[in-house]
Amino acid sequence: MPRRPGEAPALEELFSLSVEDTCERTGWSKSQVYRELSSGGLKSYTIGRRRYVDAASLRARIAELVVSSEPIKPEPRFRGQDGPRIEKDRASSRKLSRRPLT
C-alpha cells in the first residue's frame, strides 16, 4: 500500500528505529526501552554515538507481550521500596537499632 507524502513508514517496512522512534511508536519511555535492551528483550546496534533498535526484535517482543498479555512491570523507583521493613518501637516511635547488644 503506497504511503502519503510525510507519512511514517509501517514498522514492517523498517530495518531499525532510533530509541526516540521506538518510544514514539510503542508509547514506552526511554527508560523502558533501555530496560528491554539490557534484559535482552530487544536487540540493538550503534553507529557513532547513536543507538538503533532492530525492528524485527521489536516486532517479536511486541508479539510476545500481546500473546502473553503480561503487563510490563516497572522497576521500583526507590531501592528500599520492596525491601525489608524496619519495625518501629510504638512507645518512642524511633527505629529499633539493628546493632548487636554488647
Question: How many angstroms separate the CA atoms of 66 and 45, rounded?
Answer: 25
Class (C level, CATH) for 11-68: mainly alpha
Grid coordinates of 44:
540493538
- The number of beta carbons lying within 10 Å of the beta carbon of residue 41 is 16
Check residue 42 and give its pLDDT: 94
pLDDT of residue 79: 57
Q: What is the pLDDT of residue 65?
A: 84
The DSSP output letter for 81 is S
Q: What cell numbers appear for 93 in the block?
A: 516511635
Output the pLDDT for position 92: 53
Which pLDDT score is estimated for 56? Answer: 92
- Please state at what angle helix 19-26 crosses helix 30-39, rounded to 10 degrees: 110
Taking 50 as the pLDDT cut, the residues of the chain under it are 1
> Tens digit of pLDDT for each residue in 41-55?
999 999 999 999 999
Residue ranges per domain, the chain?
A: 11-68
**Alpha-helical runs (H) found in the chain:** 19-26, 30-39, 55-68
pLDDT of 14 reads 76
